[in-house]
Amino acid sequence: MAPTLRSRHRARRSASEHPVRHWSMANERSRLFDRWSVVYDRPSFQAATYRPVHDAVLARLTGTQPEVVLDLGCGTGQLTQRLTEQFPDAEIVGIDYSVGMLGEASDRVGNRANLVRADAQYLPFRSASADVVVCTESFHWYSDQRRALEELAAVLRPSGQLVIASIAAVTDVGESAMRRLSAAGGQPVRALTPRRLRHLLASAGFEVVDQRRVARFGFVPWPVLTDARLR
- The predicted model scores a pTM of 0.81
| The pLDDT value given to residue 47 | 56
Q: Rounded mean pLDDT of the chain?
A: 83
pLDDT surpassing 80 at residue 138: yes
Which domains does the chain carry?
A: 21-230 (3.40.50.150)
Predicted confidence at residue 45, as pLDDT, reads 57
Residue-wise pLDDT for 172-228, tens only, equals: 777 777 767 766 666 788 889 999 999 999 999 999 999 999 988 765 568 999 999
Instruction: Judge whether residue 73 has pLDDT over 80.
Output: yes
pLDDT tens string 188-202? 888 899 999 999 999
All residues at 6 or more sequence positions from 184 whose CB lies less than 8 Å from its CB, including other chains: none
Give the ranges where the chain is alpha helix by DSSP (H).
30-36, 43-45, 51-60, 78-86, 99-109, 145-155, 172-184, 194-203
Q: How far is CA 97 from CA 41, 60, 76, in A?
A: 18, 25, 11
Alpha-carbon distance of 132 to 60, in angstroms, equals: 11
How are strands ordered across the β-sheet holding 224-230? 21-22, 114-117, 91-96, 68-72, 130-136, 156-166, 224-230, 206-213
